[in-house]
Amino acid sequence: MRATGIVRRIDELGRVVIPKEIRRTQRIKYGDSLEIFTDKNGEVVFKKYSPLAELGEPAALYADVLARRLQCAVLVCDRERVVAAAGAGRTGLQGLALPPAVEALLARRKLYTAPAAGPRLPLGERHTLLCAAPILARGDMEGGVLLPGTARDPLPDAETVQAAAIAAEFLARWMEE
């Protein structure tokens, strides 16, 4: 852990303010959930909570099954980064931080397919976004199912887009349970 040099007091209600600089650098926004950890040395650590990251292996397994069925790369992401990647062409995408444009796209809460003509949203160094289906659980946008490709790849057909949307709904229900 790194020391920041910032010290805060706990108020009479037990609250502590996380400084703006830390919230900005760690991308903590109003409404984000934080998980609290403690250790035997008295340290208290706040970590951004991601229900999708908690799914871990089941999300990776589901992405793998979907990638095999669709015969393309499939990514499962939380609000900020890729938590599971499967299929051909996924190299270098596991753990990738989502570009702000993709975060904003998922925040719209609508199924997205790249335009047939014109620029595609970049996703990493060599990939573009072909399709994105937001994962909406308990009324919140928790992440998405993404289909990456390259600038030369054809757009996914309607069946593939529908499969991504169904996968997002399935993961949302799984998280709710």
Architecture of domain 52-176: 2-Layer Sandwich (3.30)
pLDDT winner (highest mean) among 37-41, 48-52, 115-119, 154-158: 154-158
CATH fold of the domain at 1-49: Pemi-like Protein 1; Chain: D (2.10.260)
Number of helices (H), then strands (E), belonging to the chain: the values are 5, 8
- Does the global pTM surpass 0.95? no
Domain ranges of the chain: 1-49, 52-176
The Cα angle at residue 8 between residues 5 and 14, in degrees rounded to 5:
150
Would you tell me how many other CB atoms lie within 10 Å of the CB of residue 65?
13
The Cα angle at residue 151 between residues 108 and 117, in degrees rounded to 5:
65
Amino acid letter at 141? M
Looking at residue 52, what is its pLDDT? 67
Looking at residue 127, what is its pLDDT? 92
Q: Is the pLDDT of residue 110 over 80?
A: yes
Asked if 68 and 84 touch (Cβ cutoff 8 Å), the reply is no
